[in-house]
Structure 1
Amino acid sequence: MKLSRRTILQGVGSLPFAVASLRTAAIAQTAPAAAPSTEVPPILFVHGNGDYDALWMTTLWRMESNGVARERMMAINFTDPLARSDDKLEQAGRSSTEDQRRELAAAIAELKRRTGAARVALVGSSRGGYAIRNVIKNGGAGDVSHAVLCGTPNHGVFATDDQPNNEFNGRGTFLRSLNEGESEVTPGGAFLTLRSDGLDKYAQPDGRFIGKPGTPTNVNAEGPELRGATNLVLGALDHREVAFHPRAFREIYKFIAGREPARIAIVPETNVRLSGLVTGTPGGASTNRPVAGATVDIFRVDPETGERMGSAVHSTKTGADGRWGPAQVEPSWSLEFVLAAPDAPITHIYRSPFPRSSDVVHLRPARPIGPADKDAGAVVIMSRPRGYFGLPRDVVLFDGREPADVKPGVPTDATATLRLPASEVGRNIVAQFGEERIVARAWPAAENRIAIAELTY
């Protein structure tokens, strides 16, 4: 797809464990924020395929900054967030549509119990929208006031006559059951869909984005829309940004609250407390199951060099629940999280300052050092969990240049990898996306260490 300047600029602004790991966004709220309103129902955020609740961190911060009390928000952490290739067949570390429906129904019940509300609003990213629609259609309509589906492939990532039990098949059993009827939404609640204007990698007519170049998918950019819903196009945002971008926040808030947000920017807190969950990738599958026996050390670092400023400000060893923290930090501090988990590389995660408290600062070790890294003295990864790198749409610079492993055009890559010779171990590496800038240090791969510059925005 050829990107014009107009297209680039359009719309772009400046599971058993599931209920146990439902988290609110902040521990303390000391900074001034918009006056709270009783009009906003409790909100439950639902992540997508292979993801976790931490992706909603910035959305939760923006909601808090508009006066939504943290006690009236939750984000579910599905036990096994990856979908099965065949929904009817068990796969280790993966979940069925029924698994997700059951876990989400339990989360809704918990949020209702905690707040005393009769109905809640649901906001889902990608596959999370499937769970939302499944709950509402199969007995949960009376519990839900609003459903916001962000980049959900409601008519499939592909639509073919094979793979009838693949939940992402628009002609498959699951999506046909959700989409049957003149209206594709269940009566009783308000539905909103948010989609990209052509930059969603899972709403493309050619199969090259799902590993089948040249094969028609029989879906297009309009795939996330639903008959009977309010359908909005957010311009040149990618598959994840239609959930987590400030532009998406505006529409989510406005739809649920019935008015424009008082502010888009995040209001900083005076006192910031951070905590989260350590998870892993057993067998190569990303899960949200807790990892016990992992150590987490946090260092304040110089934002210009990535060098540590003193000893650790926090140290934790996880128990059976996989939780670390809480750690007290300043909202101006750049941080290095050192995660040492069993059977995984020692991972040095560099982060921008946290303006507000959060208990969804989840940590997952880097992938193992593999054959592609065998000649590298150091491996540094630039990661953007809440969106993809778009070239030429975005400013993406890694060690002073555009990453060679980020493909131009439709944004598809959320990570970039830099491999350095042994002579460059220890030097600083600058990762820049737009206005966010993180300085990491190159750690020796020979010691089974990997550094990640993890972007917040």
Structure 2
Amino acid sequence: MPALPRRAWIALAASALLSACAGLGPGRTDAQPPIVFVHGNGDSAATWQTTLWRWESQGWPRARLHAVNFANPLARDDDTQAQAGRSGTAEQRDFLAAEVDRVLAATGARQVVLMANSRGGNAIRHCIQSGGCAGKVSHAILGGTPNHGVWANPGFRPNNEFNGAGPFLTALNAPKGPDGQLLPAGAVGVEVTPGLRWMTIRSDNNDKFAQPDGLWIGAKGTPTNVTAEGPALRGADNVVLPGRDHREVSYHAEAFAQAWRFVTGRAPASTAVQPEERVLLDGLATGITAGSPSNQPAPGARVSVYAVDAATGARLGAPLLDKTVAADGRWGPLATDARTALEFVLAVPGLATTHVYRAPFARSSAVVHLRPERLLPADAQAAAAVVNLSRPRGYFGLPRDVVLLDGAPAPGIAPGVAGVSSSKKLLAEPDRPVVAEFRSGPIAERIVGRGWPAKEGHVTLIELHE
């Protein structure tokens, strides 16, 4: 790949990094307010990648799009008890409040738009109700947020954040009058905090965390006391996207269209991602903290990036980038284009070396966050290579989707509610092409990776964009 001229490379770097934590840049009016995107439980800012691209493709300034990255994204088992590698509701609320203030100060805007997936909506509601965000937010969009719980049972994990009968959600959902004052118990008021516009986006019946049976919380056959309407809130515009799953109600093109209309008052001209000729990529190299997925930087991690043959996954020459990350965890920037398939190699000391295969990136992104895959000792002993297929912005659903891995239906995906976002295949031999194919309606992706020797501590991840 020819090297970019230095001046062009610097310009690309400045443009892409505007969407990261620094460099939000003032100078726009509130006709295009800053939008702060808040990821869900266990996830990272990277889940918003295609959503950011869609807003950019419709003319929203990259400098006004900011994706939050919580350090410890998994919720505690008991919100009242500290737990290593996990976060409580107060931590999430306070972190988001600081991010809102920082974005407002950097852009000079009066208010932001907040958009969340799943647990991120809890942080938004908490911040607006009691964390200082009231008055600083014009619109709040909650995709798949379990506003009435994943279950609602005072006797089962009573202090868990996702218990609709627990203290956290009970307080958020307490009925309120038009001025925000609390109404007596049993009164019918709004469940949202007044003073801004609210929208919820939910599935009709395909959200794994809004199901009447406890299958997805490990309690099959036990009623959850929650229905598909659980994410809806009195006082909000409640939108249903039929057939969409727990993540798609935030990250799918249909969710983008609803959010765009809610913020602007009109439909987007298109939901397509418009490719850029020159692409600049950057992100964080992160690890695992106390056994939980982490968004904290992993200093000392080594990141190598290769251009690969899209048909075979074979490397095309020397690495485009080879870097040991510093304390900030950032592995880039990397200049590329919208036609080149890539292999990212993440080596975090003490963890498996992860080889991540991605289709060409349509646009620049500063949230290409890399997190190591787990390699189970039993898998490393049983197989020559381990290949994982991941869909971070949606779940796999059968028969809705076609999901193939190495020429056969991807393992571990049962028909019914879309409930898993990854599939694993054990190979009898390493160093050969492995094809992953995914089709869901108009979405179609085909990515070819390669198996790497598991006994030497390597694992392959094929990651879908959509």
Shorter-chain TM-score above 0.5: yes
Query: For residue 24 of structure 1, what is the aligned residue in structure 2?
Result: 19
Query: For residue 431 of structure 1, what is the aligned residue in structure 2?
Result: 436
- CA shift, 1:283, in A, is 2.4
2:379 and 2:321 map into 1 onto residues whose CA distance is 34
Matched, 1:273 2:266: no
Q: For the structure 1 residues 89 and 25, does the alpha-carbon distance in structure 2 shift closer, same or farther, using more than 3 Å as the test? A: closer
Matched, 1:367 2:361: no
Letter of the aligned partner of 1:144 in structure 2?
A: V
Query: For residue 451 of structure 1, what is the aligned residue in structure 2?
Result: 460
Query: For residue 140 of structure 1, what is the aligned residue in structure 2?
Result: 133
Query: For residue 184 of structure 2, what is the aligned residue in structure 1?
Result: none
Aligned identity (percent) is 53
- CA shift, 1:256, in A, is 1.1
- CA shift, 1:373, in A, is 4.0
After TM superposition, list the pairs within 5 Å mapping 1:374-413 onto structure 2: 374-413=381-420
Query: For residue 14 of structure 1, what is the aligned residue in structure 2?
Result: none
- CA shift, 1:186, in A, is 0.7
Q: 1:358 aligned to 362, 365, 372, which one? A: 365
Letter of the aligned partner of 2:158 in structure 1?
A: P
Query: For residue 179 of structure 1, what is the aligned residue in structure 2?
Result: 173
Query: For residue 6 of structure 2, what is the aligned residue in structure 1?
Result: none
Q: 2:424 aligned to 406, 417, 431, which one? A: 417
Q: For the structure 1 residues 83 and 143, does the alpha-carbon distance in structure 2 shift closer, same or farther, using more than 3 Å as the test? A: same
* Number of matched pairs: 427
Which whole-Å deviations, capped at 9, do the CAs of 1:117-148 have from their partners, x for residues lacking one? 11110000000000000011113220000000
- CA shift, 1:25, in A, is 6.5
Matched, 1:205 2:217: no
- CA shift, 1:368, in A, is 2.6
2:446 and 2:220 map into 1 onto residues whose CA distance is 35
Native 8 Å contact 1:25 1:70 kept in 2: no
1:323 and 1:218 map into 2 onto residues whose CA distance is 44
1:347 and 1:452 map into 2 onto residues whose CA distance is 7
Q: Which has the higher contact order (CA 8 A, sep 6+)?
A: 1
SS of the equivalent of 1:416 reads: strand
Native 8 Å contact 2:174 2:191 kept in 1: yes
1:321 and 1:313 map into 2 onto residues whose CA distance is 21
Letter of the aligned partner of 1:455 in structure 2?
A: L
- CA shift, 1:262, in A, is 1.8
- CA shift, 1:174, in A, is 0.4
Native 8 Å contact 1:306 1:441 kept in 2: yes
Q: Which runs of 4+ in 1 moved over 3 A?
A: 25-28
Matched, 1:124 2:124: no
- CA shift, 1:420, in A, is 0.9
Query: For residue 251 of structure 1, what is the aligned residue in structure 2?
Result: 258
- CA shift, 1:40, in A, is 2.6
- Extract unaligned runs of 5+ from structure 2: 1-16, 176-188
SS of the equivalent of 1:280 reads: strand
- CA shift, 1:37, in A, is 8.2
Q: For the structure 1 residues 212 and 70, does the alpha-carbon distance in structure 2 shift closer, same or farther, using more than 3 Å as the test? A: same
Matched, 1:73 2:78: no
Q: For the structure 1 residues 204 and 97, does the alpha-carbon distance in structure 2 shift closer, same or farther, using more than 3 Å as the test? A: same
- CA shift, 1:372, in A, is 3.8
Task: Quote the RMSD (CA, aligned, Å).
Answer: 1.6
After TM superposition, list the pairs within 5 Å mapping 1:168-247 onto structure 2: 168-181=162-175, 182-247=189-254
SS of the equivalent of 2:282 reads: strand
Query: For residue 37 of structure 2, what is the aligned residue in structure 1?
Result: 45
Q: For the structure 1 residues 121 and 358, does the alpha-carbon distance in structure 2 shift closer, same or farther, using more than 3 Å as the test? A: same
Q: For the structure 1 residues 26 and 135, does the alpha-carbon distance in structure 2 shift closer, same or farther, using more than 3 Å as the test? A: closer
TM-score, normalised to structure 2's length?
A: 0.89
Native 8 Å contact 1:25 1:57 kept in 2: no
Query: For residue 345 of structure 1, what is the aligned residue in structure 2?
Result: 352
Query: For residue 93 of structure 1, what is the aligned residue in structure 2?
Result: 85
Q: 2:153 aligned to 147, 151, 160, which one? A: 160
